[in-house]
Each structure stands twice: as structure tokens, then as C-alpha cells.
Amino acid sequence: MDNDQPVAGAVPSVDGRATALLVARSLTKVYGSTTVLNDVDLTLHEGQVLAVVGENGAGKSTLVKILSGVVPYGEYAGTVEVDGNPAQFSSPYASDTAGVVMVPQELHVVPHLTIAENMFAAHLPGRHGLYDERAAVREARKALETFGLEVDPRAPAAVLTPSERRLIVLAAALHRSARVLILDEPTAALTEAEAGVLLDRLRSFRKAGVGIIYITHRLDELKRVADDVMVLRNGRLVAGYDSVPRQAELVSAMLGETLRSIEAIAHVAPTKPASGDPALRVRNLSVFVNDKQQRPRVLDVSLDVYPGEIVGLYGLVGAGRTELGRALFGAWPGPVTGECHIGGTQGLPKNTNRALKRGLSLLVEDRKSQGVFHGQSVSSNMTVSMLDDLSRMRLLVDKPRERHRVDEFVQKLGVRPPRTRIAIDALSGGNQQKVLLGRCLIDDLKVLILDEPTLGVDVGARRDIYQLVRKIARELEVGVLLISSDVDEVLTEADRILVMYKCRIRGEFSRGASAHDLMSAATGASMP
Amino acid sequence: MTLQESSRKVPQTADDHDAPRAAGRAYSRVVAALLSRSTVLTAAALVLILYFQQVSGGLFLTSTNASLLLRQTAVVAVVAAGMAMLIIMGEIDLSVGSAAFFTGLVVAHFQVQGWGVVPSIGAGVVAGIVLGLVNGLVITRFAVPAFIVTLAGFLLWRGLGLLLAKATPIGPVSNDLIFVTEGRMPIPLVYGLGLAVLAVGARWAIAGRRGAERAGSLVALIVRLTVSVAIAVLVIVIGQTPTGLPNALLWILGVAMVLGGVLGRAKLGRRIFLLGSNAEAAVYAGINAKRTVLIGFLVMGAIYGIAGTMLTARAGVASPDAGNTLELVAIAAAVIGGTSLRGGVGSIRGAILGAFLLATMDNGMSLLGVPTYSQNVVKAIILVLAVALDGYFRRRQLAK
Ligand SMILES: Nc1ncnc2c1ncn2[C@@H]1O[C@H](COP(=O)(O)OP(=O)(O)OP(=O)(O)O)[C@@H](O)[C@H]1O
Ligand SMILES: [Mg+2]
């Protein structure tokens, strides 16, 4: 029992519970002149699920980066103990070997390595120092069964969509015998079904005595998985609960305001009837993988999105939604057949540049590898897709106008900190997402495809984004295709909902549909 | 959270009203400026110069040697600038030494044919652009990495050149061509240059005053104005000494201005940085990657032409070993100047400073009679040190 240790504040250590697996004391992390984590304590016991919540930029990822060696020992202040021994991890590999396994918020999957290799990266099975591919593939198959993911572990990871990538990494982490498992927004891009599987697994892990740290913006998950909850705000631990409190209480702790009820956040906007000529009209679109078998990823899809309308596109991971978006944006490397009208002009865009010129933009799903320009300023990350509109003599960047536009967007989108000249890497995940959304708001926007737009965005900012998207749609008469794995999101935000299952559209629902209807269409249960 | 509230929590420009914090920021900016790469490089060059001056017994800082130093640096500086642009974009060019040899041959050939200076140089530049086009087309159309394509070019262009020239020097070229880099800068041009320095300096000073960071701007304004005036005066004074300033300086400045302008102000430059930072994201952001790479190699082609002209003008003939190892020295200069081989990071100014640093060491050590092989050892150490520093600067950049 470590209960007599002076573990201040944090999560109240619970009497009678198993030994403390992981203890952190007064963790502090400073970047430049800003303190992003300030004197945070934490205790994790065996078989305990500790949820960490907080706004974007609150310091959640930073906290677990310290615990897992991503921020190496020496670059932070405070101490970490595992099993009562000081832990000074110099790298994620070191923490991994000590049984502290983390699945980070931003995944790093190497596209041209195989799925199996990606899953076991640093822990490839082998004999006498040689890589044993058969063993790796066998292990990978076993691990993949968890989520029922039907992919060949020998295929290159490039064939996976971002959410599938997340699933394989999660599967690999669950497969490893961890003592402490840290998951940073694991369910962000997953549908209820996959998230459910994950939560089930976590419960069985808990029984086996694994300590789990769980970061999420989906507060409704907490009831299903968490024992204790800690709330971070501006890098400080502002509240600790030894049971899951009401959502309203959590939200007010997160935002630091008391008068905010959960109802105010889950608003419902009026629907808009479809009228006029569609902004986006798609007929019999099929998308194929660019390989010998030419497997389809999208089959015979037809849909219309009218100006000012938000159409939700719901479905399980791997249903083909992302591929559909990419094909419409001219960013699919394989064969695409079918018809497409964008704001009256006919034909599929040949490349992304053409798509943008015709007024169609796409918010990518995989922020890290397809979205963010690492090391470049927030400002140039935001304006890259509208440089032609912000140029002088068609040659030079019109810097004053660029600055003006960026300041305006940063204001509108609520990017924090509102500094436009720092490298985008210094923003938290959710704030990076806002910058990328800003990038999509080109002049003459007609069709906006959002692929998981609120991935990793906190409750408050999420509402900002919804309002903004609605405003863009209604005021600028933009047709929005909202690809989402979040049932609540499509139910509250979309005027009309399409559900994809195995490459095809299997159902169309109006706003009033129930989550159950959508789920059963998305899992093929209600197939004719 | 509403927008007003979010902006209340993190005041947007509150730092300007917040005196102690503004002071703190100004202080940290001074420290940052002191530790910036350009400052470190300039300081290193100054220390080297003083050291060489001391040890050589005053031989180093004579106007003859200074002029020689500038002329020695010129080709490397020009090529390093182009190389920096390509490396920032995530590409590389190993063929530049051979290509410059080839264009130098073209220039010398037409000189021997009796063409004038301008047409000869024009022919060299056109030849260079053609070579750049070939490189660029193979890289973009057939998706072969630049490393491989330009490695082939490294063998091909020199081989082809030697074949055409029958492996003998082509020359001699006219004195007019030699004058283009080796000659003494005419006095009107010296004054023009002095005025240009003043003009650029004034813009630089005013830009600092208008910019977002206004704290301590008066000091910055004065410092910047003083520095520009000092440089302008220096240019004019040295330009009137008997040795004067070499024309080579104009080539360096010209290339630096054009490329620096492209990288800093043009859409193309912005795209070059972004492409180098994340090629996949560039595609999703609507950047035409192939076209950007092709244009990059066309620009590099023009630099082949200019570098070839400078090589030939400096030697007076197109010699078979002209431009040997130029590509490696240029890469070293760019890297020392802060260009990251990972792409997305670097500057023209840094590359040129890097070239100067390398040339200063060359010149100084030769003056001291240090054998070439020992010089190489020293340069190797500097290169590795610079790259080690690179990591340090990158981390600081992120934390800023
Ligand atoms: N490399 C860095 N340099 C400077 N500041 C950074 C760096 N990384 C993170 N920060 C800052 O640290 C703060 C906390 O970031 P962190 O990623 O921990 O937030 P988070 O709680 O995980 O947010 P999110 O929910 O958006 O993922 C943010 O304000 C962010 O801007
Ligand atoms: Mg995070």
C-alpha cells in the first residue's frame, strides 16, 4: 500500500485498492516561455481506469507524453515512479519495455511497411536477431481479430484509411502485455461499434489488473469505462473525481465556468429543406484500389448535396466514406468511374488543385500525415490552399492581405494561442484541426467535404466548429458533406443522413432518425 | 465556449500593453537574435578572419586578398543558393558540378567561335536550362528520385562534355568575359551598389518598425540603420581602392536577391517550403508538386549556366576539371547555412554565409600554408558541428 505517501491533490487514492502502479509528482513542462503543464500529480493503481479530460490545449497529451517517455527525462520537472521505483524514460521504447505502453493521439504509421511491421514496429518477433515474418503475421492476425478487421497483415499500411490505421495500432497495443496502458483519444475516429469493442477490451484489461489512462473528448464514454476522472485546465489539475460525475459538472470544470449546462452545448439547429440545383451531384461513382485486383472501395454511389445543406455521411471504419471524399476531391490514386457535377461544372476533378479551383475543398481525416506542414507557421499552414487569391501580380504572396485573412480566421475559429507566426506543431491537436478547417475556407467555396471535422476537438470548440460550418453552409450557400463516425454529430448537425456499408450507400435518413436506425444500417443489419 | 470568451482568456495582443512581459519578450528576442544562425555564422566568420589576420601577419585582410576571397566564393555561393532552394523543397542536385562544367564549356566554345560576351553567356544559360529541364522531367514524369537522376547527371554531363571537348581545355576566352567576374567593379556600379544597400537597409529598418513585434523597435531601427549605412560606406570606400571590389560580388548579390525574393515572397517559394515539409499534405492542399519540382530544376538550370560562365571566366578557359566536387561543397555550404536535409527548412542567406565560411577557411588556411588534406579535416569538423547545431536550432524554433 502506498497510501501513506503524501500524494497531494490529484485523484484521491482509494483505500483498499491494489498497489500504486504509477505515481507522478508535480509534473511541470515548459515550452519556451509558456508553462503547458503545471505541477500535476497523478496516481494510478492496478486495475484502475483513470480518465483525463480537458479542453484543447489543456495539457493532456503533454502529460502522457511525459509518462511514456515521448518527452524524455530531463526535459520536464517532477518525478515519475513505476512500482515505487523512479522511472526516467528516455524514449517511448524505454517506457514500453518497462510495461508502460502508449497509443499517441497522432499516430505514426509508415505507409510502405507492412501492416504487421507497423503493428509491432519496435517489438518484431524474431529468432537470433532475424525478423520472423511468419510469426509477426500470425501475431498480427490474432491481434486484428479484436476489431474484426479484415486486412492482410502482409499488405503495406498505405492501403489503410486513417481510422483503420488507428485500429491496427490499438490492436497491437492491446495485444502487448502492458502493465500501464495509455490511450490518447483512441476513439476519436471510431464509430460506436468499434469504440464499444475497445471499451469492452479495456474492461477485461482492468479485471486483469492493468492500469489504464484514458484521454477522451467524448464525455459519454466515461460512464462506460472510467473509475476516476481528472480534469486539466490550462496545464493545471483543476478537479479530481473518484467516480464519474455528471457531464454538466465535468464540462464546467473543464471550461472553468459554472453557468453552462450541457443542454447549451448540445444545441439542435433547424433543418434546411433541399432546393435549387445541387451544389454537388454524384451519379454511379465507383472507386477502385490501384492494384492488380482493382478491389472496389466505393461502388455505384449516387448522391446530391444542395447549396446550404449539410449532408451527413455515416458508416463504420472501412465503409468507403473517406475514399469517396478523396475521389471527389481528385486525390484518389486509383481508377474512379462515374459522373460528378460540382456547382454546375461537370466532370471529376483530375487533381486537388482543379477541385479547389472549382470550389470544392476537403478537410482531411489524417491530420498528421495529410494535413499539417510540420515546422511551418500557423499562417502558411492556413493559407496554402488560397495562395492564388492572396497574391499580387499572380506571382507574389500579398503579405498584408494574408496576415489580415489569417487574423480573421484565427478569431473566427478560436485558435488558441492566437499566434500565427509560431510553428503549427506548437498547437494542440484540436487547435491544429481548426487551422486546417480554416485552410478549407477558400473564396468561392461551393462544396465542403469534412472528413471527421471534430476529431480531437473539445466540447466547447466542437460547438464553435458546428456553428461555423452551419454558418458557412447557410450564409454562403455551400453544400457540406459531413463524413463522421459520431452518431450524435450526424444526428444533430446534418440535415439529411446517408449511411454507407461495404462500399455502398445503404440508407438515407432524415434528421429525426434514431441512433439505432443509423447503427443498424451501418452494420448491414437492416439490409433489404 | 463562445468566441468572445476565448479571446478574453488569451488576450490577443495584450503583450503590447503589458509592460513587464513586453520587456521580457524584448529581452528574449535579443537573446534569440544573438543565437540565431546568421549571427552565429557571421560571428564565426569574423573570428576566423581576425584569427587568420593575426596568424598570417596581416596578409589576410589586404584588399587583394579580400578581392580574391570574394572571387573564390562566388561560384560556390551561387550554386549553394540554388542547392538550398532544392533541398528546402525536399530534392537534391548532385549533377551541378558536372552541369556547370558543361555550360562553362558551351560558353568557352562560343567565345572561341568569336561570339560576344552576352550571346556566349546566353548560350550557356540556355544550355543550363535544358539540362535542368532534362533533370526535372525525368524526376517528375518517371518518378525517379532526384538523388538517382542527378547522380546519373553527375556522370553524364561531365562525360558528355569531355567527349565533346576531347578532354582538353577549351579557350582562351576573351578578356571581356574574364572581366565579367574577375574585373574590378566600375565606380558608377560601386555607387549604385552603395545606394542599393542603403535602400534595402532602410526598408529592412522600417519593416521592423511596422511589424507585429513593436517592442524595442526604436533600438532596432537605429541599429538596423547604422548597420546599413556602415555597409554602404564600406562598399563605397573599398570600391574606390586600387583593387576595388570584384564583379563576382554582383553575381552573388543578384542570385541571392532573386532566389531570396522567390523563397521569401513568391507563391512559388511558399510552395517550395510546404512541399519540402510534407509532400503528402501538399497534394491535399492543392499544390501541384510536379510542377513545383520542375520549376525548381529549371531555376537550377539557369544557375548551371551562370555557374559555368563564372567557372570559365575565372579560369580563362573551360578546363576539364572545372566544377569538380562543386555539388558537395554547395551541399555543405547550404547545410552549414541551416538548410535541413529533411526539407522545409533553410534560407538563401544562410547558404551564402555558409559558402563564405568555407571559402574563408580555404583561403586563410592556404595563406598559412596548411596542406589541402588538413584543410579537409577542418572543414569536415565544421560540417558536422553545423549539422549538430541544426538539431539544436530546430528544437528552439519549435519551442518559440
Ligand atoms: N512542441 C511544442 N512547443 C510549444 N508548445 C507546445 C508544444 N507542444 C504542445 N504545446 C502547447 O502545449 C499546450 C498543451 O498541449 P497538449 O497537446 O498537451 O494539449 P491537449 O490537452 O492534448 O489538447 P487536445 O485536446 O487538443 O489534444 C498547448 O497550448 C500547446 O500549444
Ligand atoms: Mg492531445
Judge if B257 and B213 occupy the same domain. Answer: no
pLDDT in tens, A334-364: 899 999 999 888 999 999 999 999 999 999 9
Residues of A with CB below 8 A from B140's CB? none
In 3-state terms, what secondary structure has residue B218? helix
Q: Above pLDDT 90, what percent of chain A?
A: 38
Helices A192-207 and A162-175 pack at an angle, to 10 degrees, of: 10
Q: Which residue has the cell 533541398?
A: B87
Closest ligand 1 atom, residue A37 Cα: 14
Which range has the worst mean pLDDT, A267-281, A285-299, A333-347, B329-343?
A: A267-281
Report CA(B299)–ligand 2 centroid distance (Å).
42
Asked if residue B43 is part of any domain, the answer here is no
Judge if B211 and B129 occupy the same domain. Answer: no
Determine the pLDDT at residue B31.
Answer: 59
pLDDT in tens, A433-472: 899 999 999 999 999 999 999 877 787 778 888 888 988 8
B6 pLDDT more than 50: no
Determine the pLDDT at residue A403.
Answer: 93
Judge if A199 and A258 occupy the same domain. Answer: yes
Q: What is the CATH number of the domain that holds A47?
A: 3.40.50.300
> CB-based contact (8 Å) between B282 and chain A?
yes
Query: pLDDT band at residue B30, thresholds of 50, 70 and 90?
Result: low
The number of distinct structural domains making up chain B is 2
Asked if residue B342 is part of any domain, the answer here is yes
Asked if residue A271 is part of any domain, the answer here is no
Judge if B276 and B222 occupy the same domain. Answer: no
Cα(B71)–Cα(B203) distance, integer angstroms: 28
Report CA(A65)–ligand 1 centroid distance (Å).
11
Determine the pLDDT at residue A247.
Answer: 80
Asked if residue B25 is part of any domain, the answer here is no
> CB-based contact (8 Å) between A416 and chain B?
yes
Question: What are A398's three cell numbers?
Answer: 500579398
Query: pLDDT band at residue B9, thresholds of 50, 70 and 90?
Result: very low
Asked if residue A87 is part of any domain, the answer here is yes
* Global confidence as pTM: 0.81
Query: pLDDT band at residue A311, thresholds of 50, 70 and 90?
Result: very high
**Which among B268, B284, B345 has the least Cβ separation from residue A352?**
B284
Ligand 1 contacts (CB < 6 A) are: A 31, 36, 54, 56-62, 105, 425-430, 456, 458; B 398-399
Determine the pLDDT at residue B17.
Answer: 36
- A394's CB contacts (< 8 A; 6+ apart) are A388
Which range has the worst mean pLDDT, A315-324, B193-202, B250-259?
A: A315-324
Determine the pLDDT at residue A170.
Answer: 86
Asked if residue B11 is part of any domain, the answer here is no
Q: Do A388 and B267 touch (CB under 8 A)?
A: yes
B223 pLDDT more than 80: yes
Q: Above pLDDT 90, what percent of chain B?
A: 58
Helices B37-55 and B348-367 pack at an angle, to 10 degrees, of: 10
Residues of B with CB below 8 A from A351's CB? 288
Phi, psi for residue A450 in degrees, rounded to 5: -110, 115
> Among the ranges A163-167, A506-510, B278-282, which has the highest mean pLDDT value?
B278-282
> CB-based contact (8 Å) between A377 and chain B?
no
> CB-based contact (8 Å) between A375 and chain B?
yes
State yes or no: cis peptide before B172, omega within 30 of 0.
yes
Domain boundary among B195, B211, B245: B245
Q: Which residue has the cell 505514426?
A: A108
Judge if B323 and B355 occupy the same domain. Answer: yes
DSSP state of A458: -
Pick from A109, A255, A329, A370 the residue to mutate for testing the B interface (most B CBs within 10 Å).
Answer: A370
Question: Which is more confident, A259 or B171?
Answer: B171
Question: Which is more confident, B245 or B40?
Answer: B245
Judge if A322 and A368 occupy the same domain. Answer: yes
The number of distinct structural domains making up chain A is 3
Determine the pLDDT at residue A315.
Answer: 86
pLDDT in tens, A260-276: 444 444 445 566 666 78
Question: Which is more confident, B23 or A117?
Answer: A117
Asked if residue A269 is part of any domain, the answer here is no
Q: Which residue has the cell 518525478?
A: A79
**Beta-strand relationship, A49-54 and A228-233:** parallel
Query: pLDDT band at residue B396, thresholds of 50, 70 and 90?
Result: low
**Which domain, by its residues, includes A358?**
308-334+349-523
Chain-centre distance for alpha carbon B311: 16
Instruction: Locate the DSSP E strands across A121-189.
Output: 126-127, 130-131, 180-184
Q: Which residue has the cell 443489419?
A: A525
Judge if B190 and B217 occupy the same domain. Answer: yes
The residue nearest atom 2 of ligand 1, judged by CA position, is A426
Asked if residue A170 is part of any domain, the answer here is no
pLDDT in tens, A24-45: 999 999 987 788 999 999 999 9
Judge if B163 and B76 occupy the same domain. Answer: yes
Cα(B314)–Cα(B73) distance, integer angstroms: 11
Report CA(A484)–ligand 2 centroid distance (Å).
20
Domain boundary among A98, A130, A159: A159
Question: Which is more confident, B11 or A52?
Answer: A52
Asked if residue A297 is part of any domain, the answer here is no
Report CA(A31)–ligand 2 centroid distance (Å).
15
Cα(A105)–Cα(A27) distance, integer angstroms: 20
Choose among B77, B139, B70, B131: nearest CA to B104.
B131
ipTM of the complex: 0.82
Asked if residue B32 is part of any domain, the answer here is no
Mean pLDDT in residue range A116-122: 82
Judge if A397 and A355 occupy the same domain. Answer: yes
Judge if B77 and B221 occupy the same domain. Answer: no
Judge if B81 and B191 occupy the same domain. Answer: no
Question: Which is more confident, A96 or B112?
Answer: B112
Judge if B219 and B263 occupy the same domain. Answer: no
A343 neighbors A513 (Cβ within 8 angstroms): no
A360's enclosing H/E stretch is strand A360-363
Q: Do B284 and A331 touch (CB under 8 A)?
A: yes
The residue nearest atom 18 of ligand 1, judged by CA position, is A59
**Beta-strand relationship, A20-31 and A336-342:** unpaired
Q: Do B267 and A370 touch (CB under 8 A)?
A: no
Concatenating the DSSP letter of every residue in B309-368 gives: HHHHHHHSSB-TTTTTTHHHHHHHHHHHTT--TTSS---HHHHHHHHHHHHHHHHHHHHT
DSSP state of A19: P
What ranges in chain B are assigned the alpha helix state H? 3-9, 14-17, 19-35, 37-55, 63-88, 96-112, 117-141, 146-165, 175-182, 187-210, 217-239, 248-265, 267-277, 279-284, 289-315, 326-336, 348-367, 372-399
Domain boundary among B226, B245, B264: B245
Mean pLDDT in residue range A97-119: 86
**Hey, which residues does A183 pair with through a beta bridge?**
A103, A214
In 3-state terms, what secondary structure has residue A489? helix
A287's enclosing H/E stretch is strand A280-288
Q: What is the CATH number of the domain that holds B82?
A: 1.10.3470
The residue nearest atom 22 of ligand 1, judged by CA position, is A61
Judge if A387 and A430 occupy the same domain. Answer: yes
Domain boundary among B228, B245, B262: B245
Determine the pLDDT at residue B92.
Answer: 96
> CB-based contact (8 Å) between B210 and chain A?
no
Judge if A102 and A138 occupy the same domain. Answer: no
Judge if A79 and A154 occupy the same domain. Answer: no
Determine the pLDDT at residue A108.
Answer: 79
Asked if residue B102 is part of any domain, the answer here is yes
Judge if B169 and B296 occupy the same domain. Answer: yes
Mean pLDDT in residue range A206-223: 88
Asked if residue A290 is part of any domain, the answer here is no
Judge if A115 and A209 occupy the same domain. Answer: no
Helices B187-210 and B248-265 pack at an angle, to 10 degrees, of: 20
**Which domain, by its residues, includes B299?**
60-183+247-399
- Tell me the three-class secondary structure of A208-275, residue by residue: CCCEEEEECCCHHHHHHHCCEEEEEECCEEEEEECCCCCHHHHHHHHHCCCCCCHHHHCCCCCCCCCC
Mean pLDDT in residue range A58-84: 92
Question: Which is more confident, B393 or B354?
Answer: B354
Query: pLDDT band at residue B323, thresholds of 50, 70 and 90?
Result: very high
> CB-based contact (8 Å) between B281 and chain A?
yes
Residues of A with CB below 8 A from B2's CB? 464
Judge if B358 and B298 occupy the same domain. Answer: yes
Domain boundary among A95, A126, A159: A159
Which range has the worst mean pLDDT, A141-145, A424-428, B11-15?
A: B11-15
Angstroms from A415 CA to nearest CA on chain B: 9
Choose among B103, B66, B85, B94: nearest CA to B351.
B85
Determine the pLDDT at residue A342.
Answer: 93
Which range has the worst mean pLDDT, A5-9, B52-56, B185-189?
A: A5-9
A505's enclosing H/E stretch is strand A504-510
Closest ligand 1 atom, residue A105 Cα: 27
Asked if residue B22 is part of any domain, the answer here is no
Closest listed ligand to the CA of A32 = 1
**Which among B266, B284, B345 has the least Cβ separation from residue A364?**
B284
A404 pLDDT more than 90: yes
Mean pLDDT in residue range A283-295: 86
Angstroms from B212 CA to nearest CA on chain A: 10
Mean pLDDT in residue range A95-106: 88
Judge if A127 and A71 occupy the same domain. Answer: no
Judge if A79 and A119 occupy the same domain. Answer: no
Asked if residue B8 is part of any domain, the answer here is no
A466's enclosing H/E stretch is helix A459-476
Judge if A477 and A401 occupy the same domain. Answer: yes
Judge if A147 and A226 occupy the same domain. Answer: no
Query: pLDDT band at residue B66, thresholds of 50, 70 and 90?
Result: confident
Question: Which is more confident, B216 or B151?
Answer: B151
DSSP state of A499: E
B90 pLDDT more than 80: yes
DSSP state of B186: P
Asked if residue A165 is part of any domain, the answer here is no
Judge if A144 and A207 occupy the same domain. Answer: no
A126 pLDDT more than 80: no
Judge if B119 and B211 occupy the same domain. Answer: no
Angstroms from B195 CA to nearest CA on chain A: 25
Closest-approach residue (CA) in chain A for B25: A33
Q: Above pLDDT 70, what percent of chain A?
A: 91
**Which among A356, A397, A417 has the least Cβ separation from residue B270?**
A397
Cα(B95)–Cα(B89) distance, integer angstroms: 17
Asked if residue A341 is part of any domain, the answer here is no
